[in-house]
Amino acid sequence: MPAVMIQPSILAADIGHLYDACVRVEQAGADAVHIDLMDGIFVPNMSFSPAVVAMARKAVSIPLNVHLMMIRPDKYVDAFCDAGASSLLVHIEPEYDHAETLKRIRDKGVKPGIVLNPDTELSAIESVLPLVDEVLFMTVFPGFGGQSFLSEPLTRIKELRQTYPDLDISVDGGLNRETCKTCFDHGANVFDIGSSMFKPDDMGEEVRVMRELLV
């Protein structure tokens, strides 16, 4: 299994202090900053823009893991890659040319990833698997932080891990010490964590505890 990566999501940060939140993530010893983009159409909420990715790029030197919750992510590949994304993750559910989009992300020198909602079957991503570096399983329906963890994706995570021992398999939504451990035990190695990373006073301690748990 690839290395464990802890990626706090700045969706859970105080929006008045986003730059400081990115710095806090880096100083906590986390592996990357997870940045959530919502278009208000694919999900019933809106969040950040390419300008926020550019801000984060200035704030820290760790990778920026950018999660696009949009119906037309293909239209924004250049904008997010040029803003400094290290990985760009797009959902499989909306209709656009997934393969062409993932190839274009790689051509920009950025790692492509595909994302599945909690009720999307593994078969949906079969044809694009050779094109991605990361598969992200949503463990909540995307749109909002602070929701409860859904266990439905666990069997799919286990199945994918059996076939792809070296792939980065991520989870996002409702993660805390307990649910991270459950996902890890099913084969996930990348953890996008919002509320339970930003709530504790000492994020560094939370990152350390997570790393000790996920072995």
Q: Give SS3 for 76.
A: helix
Place of tokens 């993660």: 175
Minimum CB distance to ligand DX5 smaller for 101 or for 196: 196
Minimum CB distance to ligand DX5 smaller for 39 or for 103: 39
Clarify whether 172 is annotated catalytic.
Answer: yes
153 binds, among ligand DX5, Zn ion, none (CB under 5 to 8 A by kind): none
Q: Per residue, what are the HEC states of 15-47?
A: HHHHHHHHHHHHHCCCCCEEEEEEECCCCCCEC
Q: Closest approach of Cβ 191 to ligand DX5, in Å?
A: 9
**Residue 67 binds ligand DX5 (CB under 6 A):** yes
**Residue 142 binds ligand DX5 (CB under 6 A):** yes
Among 22, 140, 160, 214, binds ligand DX5 (CB under 6 A): 140
User: Sheet harboring 87-91: ordered strands across?
Assistant: 5-8, 190-193, 168-172, 134-138, 111-116, 87-91, 64-69, 33-38
Q: Closest approach of Cβ 176 to Zn ion, in Å?
A: 15
CA distance linking residue 29 with residue 201, whole number of Å = 15
Among 10, 13, 67, 131, binds Zn ion (CB under 5 A): 67
DSSP lists the bridge partners of residue 90 as: 68, 114
- Please provide residue 171's backbone torsions phi and psi, each rounded to the nearest 5 degrees: -130, 150
| Contacting positions for ligand DX5 (CB under 6 A) | 9, 11-12, 34, 36, 67, 140, 142-147, 172-175, 192-195
The residues carrying an active-site annotation are 36, 172
